[in-house]
Structure 1
Amino acid sequence: MGNRLSKIYTRTGDRGETGLADGRRVGKDHPRIEAIGEVDTLNSQLGLLLAELTDGRGRWPGLDELIELLEPCQHRLFDLGGELAMPEYQALDEQEVVRLEATIDRWNEELGPLENFIMPAGSRLVALAHLCRCHARTAERRCQQLNAREPLRAVLPAYLNRLSDLFFVTARLIGRRQGVAEVLWKAAPAPERADG
């Protein structure tokens, strides 16, 4: 494989445009670039979660399973970003959505039903998984904005949608395996009525 990046800066984007893989120049605020950027942010956030999970090996049982199932998601997100950068390129397969669904179902069975709203809190790892969930939702919204302008293959937003669900279940499972209680939402007290 040849060099992918021979030079880090090119100065070609200094005026607010960037190049797509097909040679087109678009504004850096173009919906396609916004979508690519949000997928990249999600991938980086997932990298942080995986690093923290790896550091937690040995302290909490069952983290290896989480790492093994989440690591491929980084590569699929890179594939998804590639499809956004090269509209003719197709790398993400519907089977990846099926894989996420099977994982969600299996992990959810272990967790049982959720009876209350929970907060993105409890431990650093739980909060990091929730950050991944939030970034997945943002990336999905950006892809939907692009889709309204330039249709995408349905598997791309579907993968991000399912991935956000996976991160929600991941956050709950991490808490369970760490022995950390879920932080339940507490409604604000009803405002006092001013009489008179």
Structure 2
Amino acid sequence: LFVIGSMLATKPGKEIGIKVIDESSVEQLERWMDELDEQLPPLKNFILPGGHPAISACHLARCICRRAERRVVSLSHADQVDHLIIRYLNRLSDYLFILSRAVAQQLNVAERVWKPR
């Protein structure tokens, strides 16, 4: 997220002196998601966050990432934003969700299924 902040604070086309988010960054996240997802049972219901502090931390990070994504999308309506930033944030939040499920599985914590009232 610090790299994304640097990218957003720098005029397009100007060097920022650090490795920036690129297509390979998005592809790496997708590979990690696929690797984790292969080890998990198929998701058939909405699940609720919680059950262990580590699981909750993953969900909190995911929510913060989604908020950042929404703000960058809003910014993109008013200013020029590299579309890869939005894609990366979207994939990162998806990765954090899958990570929360993998952590639950590793800790042997049952997922809490959401039940409508």
Normalized against structure 2, the TM-score is what? 0.91
Q: Determine which structure has the larger helix proportion and give its number.
A: 2
CA distance in 2, matches of 1:186, 1:154: 36
CA distance in 2, matches of 1:120, 1:184: 9
Residue 3 (structure 2) pairs with residue 82 (structure 1):
no
Q: What percent identity do the matched residue pairs reach?
A: 39
Aligned residue runs from structure 1 range 19-98, under 5 A: 77-88=1-12, 89=14, 91-98=20-27
Residue 115 (structure 2) pairs with residue 179 (structure 1):
no
Aligned residue runs from structure 1 range 1-196, under 5 A: 77-88=1-12, 89=14, 91-188=20-117
CA distance in 2, matches of 1:86, 1:108: 35
5+ residue gaps, structure 1, are 1-76, 189-196
Q: Give CA deviations for 1:17-52 in whole Å, capped at 9, x if unaligned.
A: xxxxxxxxxxxxxxxxxxxxxxxxxxxxxxxxxxxx
Following superposition, the deviation at residue 98 of structure 1 comes to 0.2
- Quick one: which amino acid aligns to residue 172 of structure 1? R
Matched positions, count: 112
Following superposition, the deviation at residue 151 of structure 1 comes to 2.0
Higher relative contact order by CA 8 Å / sep ≥ 6: 1 or 2? 2
Following superposition, the deviation at residue 87 of structure 1 comes to 2.3
Q: Give CA deviations for 1:81-132 in whole Å, capped at 9, x if unaligned.
A: 1011112346211100000000101101100310111001111111110011
CA distance in 1, matches of 2:86, 2:103: 25
For the aligned residues, what is the CA RMSD? 1.1
Q: SS state of the match for residue 71, structure 2?
A: helix
CA distance in 2, matches of 1:125, 1:181: 14
Q: SS state of the match for residue 111, structure 2?
A: coil
Match of 1:45 in 2: none
CA distance in 2, matches of 1:92, 1:107: 22
Q: Give CA deviations for 1:133-169 in whole Å, capped at 9, x if unaligned.
A: 1111100000000001112111100000000000000
Q: Which stretches of structure 1, 4 residues or more, deviate above 3 A after TM superposition? A: none
5+ residue gaps, structure 2, are none
CA distance in 2, matches of 1:131, 1:162: 16
CA distance in 1, matches of 2:36, 2:97: 11
